[in-house]
């Protein structure tokens, strides 16, 4: 989660996608412990709590919104600088839906996928299906200076 904190510091407003509600809560707590202003949205929260988090994120009171795919449906926020796939999605539609939260209205944006070694095959399948650059995976630690400028990974 220190890697995400460094990415947020370098890029700005970020949506982090997790595959479970429990993981959303854990990532949110870890980011908050690191001093990152973050909130989770998922199905176990009340509609009022989810809406409050979205309003705070839209108004720049939150730097990070940690969400499940289901909770993030229908969210339309124009100035998201980065999307982080905390767990790679299983299919290309989910990847496109998540990644489409950034780079809206002609703006630049980042889509970053965090993957364990055993998830590389899933990532390759998505890369090929979407005709994305198939650069080899890069091992990154939270103190990696390239996190200050994600362009260094290109």
> What does 52-118 look like in DSSP terms, one character per residue?
HHHHHHHTTS-SEEEE-HHHHTT---TT--EEEESS--SSHHHHHHHHTTSS-TT---EEEE---GG
Identify the pLDDT of residue 149: 78
Structure tokens at 4: 């995400």
CATH code for the structural domain at 2-153:
3.40.50.300
Helix (H, G, I), strand (E, B) or coil at 123: helix
pLDDT of 28: 97
Give pLDDT, residue 152. Answer: 67
pLDDT given for residue 24 in this prediction: 96
C-alpha to C-alpha distance for 95 and 147, rounded to whole angstroms: 22
Return the domain boundaries, the chain.
Answer: 2-153
pLDDT per position as a tens digit, 22-60? 999 999 999 999 999 999 999 999 999 999 999 999 999
- What pLDDT score does 71 carry? 64
From the centroid of its chain, how far is CA 71?
14
Residue segments in the chain with a per-residue pLDDT below the cut of 70: 71-72, 105, 134, 152-154
Q: What is the pLDDT of residue 50?
A: 92
What integer pLDDT is reported at residue 115 of this predicted model? 85
């Amino acid at each position: 989660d220190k890697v995400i904190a460094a990415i947020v510091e370098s890029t700005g407003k970020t949506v982090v996608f997790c595959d479970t509600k429990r993981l959303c809560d854990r990532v949110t707590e870890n980011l908050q412990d690191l001093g990152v202003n973050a909130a989770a949205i998922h199905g176990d929260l009340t509609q009022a709590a989810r809406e409050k988090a979205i309003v705070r994120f839209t108004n720049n009171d939150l730097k990070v919104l940690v969400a499940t795919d289901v909770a993030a449906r229908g969210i339309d926020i124009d100035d998201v600088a980065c999307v982080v796939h905390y767990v790679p999605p299983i299919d290309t539609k989910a990847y496109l839906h998540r990644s489409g939260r950034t780079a809206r209205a002609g703006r630049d944006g980042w889509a970053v996928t965090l993957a364990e070694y055993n998830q590389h095959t899933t990532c390759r399948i998505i890369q090929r299906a979407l005709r994305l650059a198939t650069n080899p995976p890069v091992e990154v630690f939270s103190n990696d200076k390239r996190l200050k400028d994600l362009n260094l990974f290109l």
